Structure 1
């Protein structure tokens, strides 16, 4: 574990993250570290000290969304009704992808691209809870028995993409989610 940052270093890190988050919100998904340094009014070395690569910066931006999603997935895995756990999990995952472009980038790539051990740990925790949700729903007979985690990951990413390119994506979230859920429900096979 690394030692805590000095107060000024922590402020600089937070400022760089806020600047990068603002850049993403404005549609700048490139996040060139030199540009982020310029926009933040800090030296390039300061940015690279905290985030040695663009990927490290993106993962840091996605960390809070990933943490929230892991908590929601864990809660969904313990839901009294297995199918409701699936609904809660998929809604949370789609919402995270709609609201956080950094999270979308991280969740859409493979673990071998992770820059930080914390990101890999989040993935493992999320996968474990997701596996529990799916197994419970399949055992209850409510989830298609032929659906794999990989299938679901791709279907959710595709649905998130369809939402992002539509007008008013948050207005369509519930409708698209319902279509996805209808497609994976065992009673619809």
Structure 2
């Protein structure tokens, strides 16, 4: 699908809506409502809905940069010579990106049936392929706990992200929690 570039005023409105939504998400959590975002951004509700037909489309737009960066990190993990280092790189990137971007967490915690855009579904498919490659290399080297499915690992990472968001001293706990996760999924 070819889209024409936005007019300057439309691009400004879109950027303003995204900045406002990002600020609301950071301050108040994932309760974004398009009508409220439009009001806070000082634009009409119709303008908000023209750019983002649903709340989900707004959340996907907010998460796009983080998802793109995560894909780059997943590619690096997939190319790493050492299978276990690739797993550690992948999980670290996944944890840090979700901690930094609650919109990405929301996207990754739901299935493709909820995606509002083909771009998000494409990102999701690419990430799944890259992650599967990393994990299959680790399985082939007998490095992952037997019986650990890809979905199990996704749920474990989501749980660690949730646990890390509880309490203070996040920076101090990230590496410790990651090491616990890695020890728990490693074979032997």
Using the size of structure 1 for normalisation, the TM-score is: 0.96
Equivalent residue, structure 1, for 2:139: 138
Equivalent residue, structure 1, for 2:56: 55
Instruction: Please state if 1:83 is matched with 2:84.
Output: yes
Within 1, Cα distance between the matches of 2:29 and 2:8? Answer: 29
Instruction: Please state if 1:26 is matched with 2:32.
Output: no
Q: Deviations over 1:30-53 (max 9, x none)?
A: 111111111101111110000011
How is 1:168-183 mapped onto 2 (pairs within 5 angstroms)?
168-183=169-184
Equivalent residue, structure 2, for 1:152: 153
Equivalent residue, structure 1, for 2:66: 65
Equivalent residue, structure 1, for 2:93: 92
**Per-residue deviation, 1:11:** 1.1
Number of paired residues? 187
Within 2, Cα distance between the matches of 1:179 and 1:63? Answer: 29
* Secondary structure in structure 2 of the residue aligned to 1:26: helix
Q: Cα RMSD (Å) of the superposition?
A: 0.9
* Secondary structure in structure 2 of the residue aligned to 1:145: coil
Within 1, Cα distance between the matches of 2:129 and 2:186? Answer: 21
**Per-residue deviation, 1:140:** 1.5
Using the size of structure 2 for normalisation, the TM-score is: 0.97
Within 2, Cα distance between the matches of 1:45 and 1:13? Answer: 12
Equivalent residue, structure 2, for 1:40: 41
Within 2, Cα distance between the matches of 1:102 and 1:38? Answer: 20
Runs of at least 4 residues off by over 4 Å: none
